[in-house]
Structure formats: C-alpha cells, structure tokens
Amino acid sequence: MPTYGIIGTIVIGLLAGIVAKFLTPGRDPAGCIVTMLLGIAGAWVATLLGRWIGWYEVGQGAGFIGATAGAILLLLVHRMFTRNSPP
C-alpha cells in the first residue's frame, strides 16, 4: 500500500498547508498554491523527522498535527527568505 501512503500524505499536507496559513501570524507573501505545496512538504518533513526520532515506523506517515507543525515551520522559513528578497 505505498501508493495510499503517498496519496494520504499529499491530502493531509494540502489540508495542513491551509490550516498553517491561517495559524501563522503576519502577512503571507505566498499564494494558496505555494502554501499548499509547503503543506505537502511539511507533511513529508514531519514524517521523516518522526521516523528519525522514532515516533513512526516505516510505512507510517505523520498525522495531521505533525503535518501542520511541519507546514508552519516551512512557511516561516519561506517567509524569512522571501521577505529579504527584492521584488
């Protein structure tokens, strides 16, 4: 069932990106698509960190809260880099 895991990570990541956008204070320079892609990447990062720490086994993915935390982290990093770049 690896395909279900990938699809599940994408769906959870999309939703986590939307929630992260609303939970993160400040003006967001990224659009909705970029935020959702950051949510997918956040779910992936949360899964990898969770496996590294030992919270998840191989084949398990991060839950919604972990994916949202990963998305918030990546959204803040994205804001740091885009805030200092020239328009």
Tell me the per-residue pLDDT of 53-70, one tens digit each, with 9 for 90 and over.
Answer: 887 777 666 678 888 888
pLDDT at residue number 4: 55
- Map out the domains of the chain as residue ranges: 2-83
Q: Supply φ then ψ for residue 6, to 5 degrees.
A: -70, -45
pLDDT at residue number 1: 34
Q: Give, in degrees to the nearest 5, the angle at Cα 82 between 76 and 85.
A: 150
CA distance 37 to 73: 13
Q: Which two tokens stand for residue 74?
A: 């990546």
pLDDT at residue number 85: 54
pLDDT at residue number 66: 82
Token look-up 């895991």 returns 5
Q: Tens digit of pLDDT for each residue in 1-44?
A: 344 567 777 788 888 888 888 887 777 666 777 877 888 888 88
CA distance 19 to 8: 17
